[in-house]
Structure 1
Amino acid sequence: MADEQKAKLRLEIAHVLFMDIVGYSKLLTDEQSEALQELNQIVRKTEAAREADAVGELIILPTGDGMALVFTGSVEEPVECALEISHALRAQPSLPVRIGIHSGPVHHVKDANERENIAGVGINIAQRVMDCGDAGHILVSKRVADDLAQKRRWQPYLHELGDVEVKHGVVVSLVNLYAETIGNPAPPARIGKAPVRPNKAVKHRGLSPLARAIFILAGLLIALVIVSVIFAPAIMRSLGKGHAASPPQVPTMPSPSSLADTIKSAVTKKITDELKDDLSGKKKTEPASSDATKHITSLAVLPFKNYSGEPNQEYFADGITDVLTTELSGINAVTVKSHQSALKFKNSTKSMPEIGQELNADAIVEGSVLHDGNQVTVNVQLIEAKTDRHLWAKKFERDVRDIFKMRNEVVEDIAREIQVAVSPEQSSRLSNARMVNPAALQEYLLGRQSWNRLTEKGLTDALEHFNRSKEIDPNFALAWVGVADYYVQAADTIVSPIDAFAKARAAAQRALELDDSLAEAHFALASVKWSDYEWRDAELGMQRALKLNPNYAVAHWGHGWLLVFVGRLDQALKELQRAVELDPLSPIRTLDVNVPYVLKGDYNSAEAQCRKALELDPSLYLPHFALGWINIKRGNYAKAIEEYRIAQTIETQPIIAGFLGYAFARNGQKDKAMETIAELNQLAAHRFVTPYCQALIYLGLGENSQAIDWLEKTYDERSPWVDWLKVESLFDPLRSNARFQALYQKMNFPP
């Protein structure tokens, strides 16, 4: 016997989940097909099946009225899968399914059509266990139960039923697996009919094993021929639907045996291919020219699942999602939702239609990442959000050094499937992906994971990772972008603006020297130019970033703020609203739409934006901060004080105290206003405090000369708060002052 044949016959222990649809034979042909489709969909959505398949530890065997899932990893995998299936079936009471699980020896064989298959005692006993159950039951063999009982988690689920004699005198020891909302706690009806025996050896009498096997095989062949003759017309019509447009062929009458083989092969292949390809990410769907794909105008990329088996690899899966979202955003013809909004659905149990509705997306991209050493495998699927229909799926495999080349292939394939064109500039970028140092990539992705926490510590941790990344590979442009992003974000809150913007400029310029096509680098450099009051150059840089990445929510948001400060409020409102469209679940983007409304005097609309932001994140201090400002504008200083007090219970930013001090002063509480100035001066000895805080309070107290003193310090520190000089009506009492006018001229505001 050849070595290959020996390998195929070598026994291995597998953990088999066998299931069927109860009452399947009583269903009409159409109903049978629909029931199997429903069951297939439930199975392919289970995490246990997806994860096992991703690492090559699952084989699916269709059985006509159900299927067998053969797991070769842990004994817990089929049980986890059964729990997920049982949970899903509670929402579909019209689909009665029973499940049996057993661990035992199996071996690989080839069927009559030379396709890989699995056979052995493990399969047979799993089916016998299942046969003992009724609808809803999850029955496991005693062997499986004993293994599960070693872990405290499973012990409450296990309920012994005893030994039962099944077909051909075989005795199985049964355990019913159920909990409050899982499985079927009622004893199977079969237990009352079949002899229950003690757990001991049983002697079998009657036909020899060989004779029984021949008898069974003959019976199966006869039954198959009868079924073929009865159901052949219906089945052949069903299988032939896809060929209705083919030229007519000369009919030939198949013999009963060849017809049986045809039906058996076609049906088996159809079910096996559909289910297995779904799980492996290789499912071939309808052509991309279908109506579903040509109407896709908006996409969201959900966080890819980590199939590496290590929780510490989550950063890698999240990072792949992030870089894919960024590159997809470069497609001008489609709206791509922000990674930050999509992150809200990490590990979500919401349905695709629900997610699509919340993100306002026509289609969803989801997938999984397996990072094993230097090899990366990514499965990607495109799903119609409204119907949860899979439109396209593909598997990509690359060395980690070619991760950006793989990302670009995914982008090109998705663009092709949804029938949109990429710009010549993006096409050139996609075809020229650079290789990356794996260690530098790891540090960069860890930095982005920290960045996405959106906390002060998260930002600080991110900088450490970005710095390590560029030290490992000084030519890795994205690492320099990360450093620039940090200093732009940290300016005026964590780091002195002068120091922060100088470091941001150097990092952004280095990133652009390495890769001029990075929208993030253009935006970072534009932000630095803004801090130097180079308004025109800053806007050109942001426009360049948006040309490279039309769906870059942060750039639309930043551009909106720049337009606010130069007084182009209608354009600012449109840009800030576009940022919300791209990042619909961001409370910050939602909140900031209030600013043009306030400056236009539409306080009700401004307040409505604050309320929307609070709905998205009730723990955020900024909506209360903005409500305080709105109430200052309304002249309701007592209400403003109340809002600032609430903000201070959430966050201790000095700027809150600055506005609170102004409200105290305007409310006639001058002592409290002066106390606030003293507190800010003390705080400034320990951390950066923008002089704008003291300027506001002196302004509220009517001490205009001191207010201008502190505004000049704000300018000298390059604090972004000085940008408000042109549009903030609070400064109207100072506009006739020569010192204020001189300061205003330094700001280089456009007319």
Structure 2
Amino acid sequence: MERRLTAILAADVVGYSNLMGNEEVDTLERLKFCRRELFDPAVAEFRGHIIKLMGDGALVEFASVVDAVQCAAAIQRRMAGHDPAIPEARKIRFRIGVNLGDVIVEDGDIYGDGVNVAARLEGLAEPGGICISGTAFDHVLHKADVGFTSLGEKRLKNIPDPVRVYRILLDSSKASEVARRSRRPIARTVILPAIGIAALLIALLATAVLTFDWRAPLAPSRTSVAILPFANLSGDPKHDYISDGITEDLITDLAKLAGVDVIARDSVFAYKGKPVVLADAAHELRVRYLVEGSVQQSGEQLRINAQLIDMTSGKSVWADRFDRHVADVFAIQDDLRRELVSALGLKPSATEAKRLSRAPTANLEAYDYFLRGEQTARTGERDGLQQALAFYGKAEELDPTFAEAFAFDARTTVNIWRANFNGIIQSAPARKRAYEKASVALKLDPDLASPYAILGIMQVVDRRYEEAIASAERAVALGPGDVAAQIALGYVQLFASNHAEAGVAVETALRLDPSLSPVDREIAGLVFLLKGDTAGAVETLERTRDDAPAVSEFWIMLAAAYARANRLPDARAALAGGLQLVAGSESNQRSLSDWRIAFAHFRNAQDLALIIDALREAGLPEWPFGFTADERDRVNGAALASLVLGHTLKGQLEPGGQPAILQIGQDGNAAFRSVTRMYTAKLYVDQDLLCEQSENLFGRPDCGPVYKLSGGYTYVNSGTIFHFTVID
């Protein structure tokens, strides 16, 4: 089997099926003419080899990617002036994609991802346009009479890694010009005086980023660095948490400095355990400097190696080795950080230097448990979160002054609370624990960013908007390079209806961490959606769905974005995929009533209405499991109160027919029991709805109708369909 690196041009005719369906003979003759007089001569002129013709398409190979791009440009320029008398709807137009990649050669044909990428790029091109890959762009820049527009990284179907994509500018006057894709201008909002000077500054910054592409390189005027995962040389994978912890601490510390952009953990840890070509890593992460190192523990001895590489020259500008007793790990980290900061040419302010000088704890055993907690919490899985709380709790017990242990305990608890993992901690106790742990962390270390970020999220859910904004802005002030702080600010500003400020925050987070976690990326997608950037929302939420395909919420939110983009078939398909994941389960986020409660903390009712309307257009039902009933059978007002208050209701839950019982006092105090659920609540009648309010669902009322159906009654709300009879 032969393999080779080659330039591939893929082309097809726009709307070929419609053209053939309307005027088959005429279309075929005109296509033959275009190939004979325009396409084939251009291929011959630029020394290409036609691998195959496919009805409306062609696959062409070139020894030079410059020739491939020049050929594509020649074809499109000649096609633009062809058939001027033909109506636009009947014109033959090509789309072309060009890639430089590895191919498999067999029986005169070529196969592999190199070909597949070219075909996917052709699909991204506009009629009469050309899209090329980043590998092709790197070789053709300054060598062809075309310009370029960067479209950023794209996820292409059946291609495992994102691909940099550039659109060709055919105007020869723009030769070698590289433009960024402009975004839709950010909507402006009125800033209330209570938000303060920091929010005003954010609003002013929004003006500067109206056309900024968050996929573009970090600002060249600032120092940019990525700290690659330190290798564990101990020979035991169980010690990964030590090398990971040292890497993460270094990232966290540098992110506290205002003069440097530090790539966040999720993006750099994508390189863990893989052979890394440093030039590729620097290009993908868009940084000037890379730090790489290793950790080796042998008994009570610890060796840490590290070096800083300036990727503009490829030379190491600093390197050191630290051989000490394991008990000196904090001193080693302090020396390592200080030397690295100096090598980067950074000069911390007095306040920043004070923050950096603080050791997280003097208790090595507590630090060990803390690192273990970090490792397990990062999975995001139920068991990992539960185990992490136990590790953090042990660290807090061993060192009650360990502020970061309390802060990360609070962060993990918030994740449990937001995910409704009631099997670990019920909603109300989780909320209480998160507040308490974050408060303890701040008392121990007022300069920590993460507790303020956590408080901001919880405060906005509680509709304490001004407090939430102040907390989130404080988090960003303390950790300007802290991605979690930027995401928290974006989340808070979004729900406070400050869309422009939310956009600034999430775009900053995406620059600092191109590989955001799916949960954080969903927040970014929601921000783009409410700003009116449907293309950005779709792209972001598609990546969220692809990164976590087992989470139904991500499919359903993507369905809303598709609906807003008028892509209704895609919206319905995404919704069906999301609902299939929770079919027959008691999972939330499966009906409009669920989403109304989950997003009830939007300050502006129009924001919530936009999402609900999009989900309704995608086909999400009003009630769980698509329940519907004839409104003529509905029990209303006084009759509803008389039916349920002071009575015991016995019946079955849908789906599955699980037995359940609901006991309601005359005062509305109620207790619900089934095989899998047991809770107390306050029930009351609000006009024609039966409402229950408990510590679940963030303490928000959950209201729904009651219908008199054959053999009894049915009560439906956001998470329950209860078929019952009154037994007393």
Report the TM-score when normalising by structure 1. 0.50
Residue in 2 that maps onto 1:245:
none
Work out which of the residue numbers 476, 479, 483 in structure 2 matches 1:546.
Answer: 476
Residue in 2 that maps onto 1:605:
536
CA distance, structure 2, for counterparts of residue 707 and residue 367 of structure 1: 62
Cα contact 2:234–2:296 (8 A) shared by 1: yes
Residues 602 and 467 of structure 1: is their aligned pair in 2 closer, same or farther, counting only changes over 3 Å?
Answer: same
Work out which of the residue numbers 572, 575, 590 in structure 2 matches 1:644.
Answer: 575
Residue in 2 that maps onto 1:451:
377
- Residue 465 of structure 1 and its aligned partner are, at CA, apart by 1.0
Residues 571 and 432 of structure 1: is their aligned pair in 2 closer, same or farther, counting only changes over 3 Å?
Answer: closer
Residue in 2 that maps onto 1:360:
286
1:516-527 aligned within 5 A: 516-527=446-457
Work out which of the residue numbers 341, 348, 351 in structure 2 matches 1:422.
Answer: 348
Post-superposition CA distance 1:33-87 (Å, at most 9, x none)? xxxxxxxxxxxxxxxxxxxxxxxxxxxxxxxxxxxxxxxxxxxxxxxxxxxxxxx
CA distance, structure 1, for counterparts of residue 501 and residue 304 of structure 2: 41
- Residue 526 of structure 1 and its aligned partner are, at CA, apart by 3.2
Post-superposition CA distance 1:233-261 (Å, at most 9, x none)? xxxxxxxxxxxxxxxxxxxxxxxxxxxxx
1:202-601 aligned within 5 A: 297-385=223-311, 387-433=313-359, 435-492=361-418, 493-494=420-421, 495-588=425-518, 589-601=520-532
CA distance, structure 2, for counterparts of residue 363 and residue 690 of structure 1: 55
1:701-716 aligned within 5 A: 709=691, 713=693
Post-superposition CA distance 1:615-670 (Å, at most 9, x none)? 65666655422222224556877754431331345577823323498868967898
- Residue 673 of structure 1 and its aligned partner are, at CA, apart by 2.0
- Residue 444 of structure 1 and its aligned partner are, at CA, apart by 0.8
Residue in 1 that maps onto 2:627:
674
Number of residue pairs matched by the alignment: 418
Cα contact 2:267–2:515 (8 A) shared by 1: yes
1:628-667 aligned within 5 A: 628-631=559-562, 633=564, 640-649=571-580, 654-659=587-592
- Residue 333 of structure 1 and its aligned partner are, at CA, apart by 0.5
Residue 370 of structure 1: SS of its match in structure 2?
Answer: strand
Residue 591 of structure 2: SS of its match in structure 1?
Answer: helix
Residue 447 of structure 2: SS of its match in structure 1?
Answer: coil
Q: State the structure with more CA Rg.
A: 1
CA distance, structure 1, for counterparts of residue 307 and residue 697 of structure 2: 47
Cα contact 1:299–1:336 (8 A) shared by 2: yes
Residues 432 and 555 of structure 1: is their aligned pair in 2 closer, same or farther, counting only changes over 3 Å?
Answer: closer
- Residue 334 of structure 1 and its aligned partner are, at CA, apart by 0.6
Aligned partner letter, 1:437:
N
Residue 567 of structure 1: SS of its match in structure 2?
Answer: coil
Cα contact 1:376–1:398 (8 A) shared by 2: yes
Aligned partner letter, 1:322:
E
Residue 297 of structure 2: SS of its match in structure 1?
Answer: strand
Aligned partner letter, 2:561:
I
CA distance, structure 2, for counterparts of residue 328 and residue 391 of structure 1: 18
Residues 601 and 515 of structure 1: is their aligned pair in 2 closer, same or farther, counting only changes over 3 Å?
Answer: closer
CA distance, structure 1, for counterparts of residue 278 and residue 678 of structure 2: 46
Residue in 1 that maps onto 2:664:
none
CA distance, structure 2, for counterparts of residue 482 and residue 511 of structure 1: 9
Aligned partner letter, 2:475:
A
CA distance, structure 1, for counterparts of residue 416 and residue 407 of structure 2: 14
Residue in 2 that maps onto 1:237:
none
Aligned partner letter, 1:465:
F
- Residue 335 of structure 1 and its aligned partner are, at CA, apart by 0.5
RMSD: 3.9
Post-superposition CA distance 1:346-391 (Å, at most 9, x none)? 0122311111122222211111112234443211111224554322
- Residue 514 of structure 1 and its aligned partner are, at CA, apart by 2.1
Cα contact 1:580–1:586 (8 A) shared by 2: yes
Cα contact 2:361–2:367 (8 A) shared by 1: no
Aligned partner letter, 1:719:
F
- Residue 459 of structure 1 and its aligned partner are, at CA, apart by 1.1
CA distance, structure 2, for counterparts of residue 551 and residue 544 of structure 1: 13
Residues 511 and 382 of structure 1: is their aligned pair in 2 closer, same or farther, counting only changes over 3 Å?
Answer: same
CA distance, structure 2, for counterparts of residue 680 and residue 519 of structure 1: 46
Post-superposition CA distance 1:265-294 (Å, at most 9, x none)? xxxxxxxxxxxxxxxxxxxxxxxxxxxxx9
CA distance, structure 2, for counterparts of residue 335 and residue 528 of structure 1: 28
Aligned partner letter, 2:283:
Q
Residue in 1 that maps onto 2:124:
none
Residue 474 of structure 1: SS of its match in structure 2?
Answer: coil
1:684-699 aligned within 5 A: none
- Residue 681 of structure 1 and its aligned partner are, at CA, apart by 11
Residue in 2 that maps onto 1:279:
none
Residue in 2 that maps onto 1:73:
none
Residues 689 and 346 of structure 1: is their aligned pair in 2 closer, same or farther, counting only changes over 3 Å?
Answer: farther
Residues 622 and 579 of structure 1: is their aligned pair in 2 closer, same or farther, counting only changes over 3 Å?
Answer: farther
Residue in 1 that maps onto 2:173:
none
Residue in 1 that maps onto 2:698:
719
Structure in which a larger fraction of residues adopt helix:
1
Residue 491 of structure 1: SS of its match in structure 2?
Answer: helix
Report the TM-score when normalising by structure 2. 0.51
* More displaced stretch, 301-310 vs 581-590: 581-590
- Residue 577 of structure 1 and its aligned partner are, at CA, apart by 1.0
Residues 402 and 485 of structure 1: is their aligned pair in 2 closer, same or farther, counting only changes over 3 Å?
Answer: farther
Residue in 2 that maps onto 1:11:
none
Is residue 2:550 matched to residue 1:624?
Answer: no
Aligned partner letter, 2:401:
N
Residues 537 and 321 of structure 1: is their aligned pair in 2 closer, same or farther, counting only changes over 3 Å?
Answer: same
Residues 391 and 498 of structure 1: is their aligned pair in 2 closer, same or farther, counting only changes over 3 Å?
Answer: same
Residue 303 of structure 1: SS of its match in structure 2?
Answer: coil
CA distance, structure 1, for counterparts of residue 621 and residue 357 of structure 2: 66
Aligned partner letter, 2:370:
Y
Cα contact 2:222–2:261 (8 A) shared by 1: no
CA distance, structure 1, for counterparts of residue 574 and residue 358 of structure 2: 52
Residue 378 of structure 1: SS of its match in structure 2?
Answer: strand
Q: Sequence identity of aligned pairs in percent? A: 23
Aligned partner letter, 1:603:
T
Post-superposition CA distance 1:682-726 (Å, at most 9, x none)? 7995778999xxxxxxxxxxx99677947xx48x6463999xxxx
**Structure 1: 5+ residue runs without aligned partners?**
1-293, 692-702, 723-751
Aligned partner letter, 1:674:
F
Aligned partner letter, 1:557:
I
Residue 294 of structure 2: SS of its match in structure 1?
Answer: strand
CA distance, structure 2, for counterparts of residue 551 and residue 680 of structure 1: 49
Residue 439 of structure 1: SS of its match in structure 2?
Answer: helix
Residues 511 and 637 of structure 1: is their aligned pair in 2 closer, same or farther, counting only changes over 3 Å?
Answer: same
Residue 590 of structure 2: SS of its match in structure 1?
Answer: helix
CA distance, structure 1, for counterparts of residue 533 and residue 700 of structure 2: 22
CA distance, structure 1, for counterparts of residue 655 and residue 688 of structure 2: 17
Cα contact 2:407–2:441 (8 A) shared by 1: yes
